[in-house]
Amino acid sequence: MPHRDEEITMLRRELEMLMGERQTLLQVAGASAALIASLDSKRLPLGAVESADMLATTINALSEETLQDALNAVSAEIEEEEEVGAGR
């Protein structure tokens, strides 16, 4: 039984690590989506437009649920930045 308990503990740690990584990736995807949404592609250098297009294509490949989770993961941070910028 001790071996089984060790396996369960190891699996629990692995799952916690994966969930933490998922949260970080959701934040990256959400921040990227917010950045892409705020860009004016007509004012970007060609290299940046190509990179933005690649990023937008990747973001658009996410499921609706995952994209919503990603946007939710950064919404408070985006709102805080907007409020700080509005106070200037």
Per-residue pLDDT at 38: 87
CB 62, CB 29: distance < 8 Å: yes
Domain count, the chain: 1
Give the CA distances from residue 21 to residues 25, 26, 53, in Å, rounded to whole numbers and listed in that order.
Answer: 6, 9, 25
pLDDT (0 to 100) of residue 41: 84
Confidence of residue 77 (pLDDT cuts 50, 70, 90): low
Domain residues for the domain of 80 are: 2-86
Q: What is the pLDDT of residues 12-71, one digit of tens each?
A: 999 999 999 999 999 999 999 999 888 888 899 988 999 999 999 999 999 999 999 999
When pLDDT is cut at 50, 70 and 90, the band that residue 81 belongs to is: low
39 touches 52 (CB < 8 A): yes
Q: Pick from 35, 44, 16: which is nearest to 74 by CA? A: 35
59/83 Cα distance (integer angstroms): 26
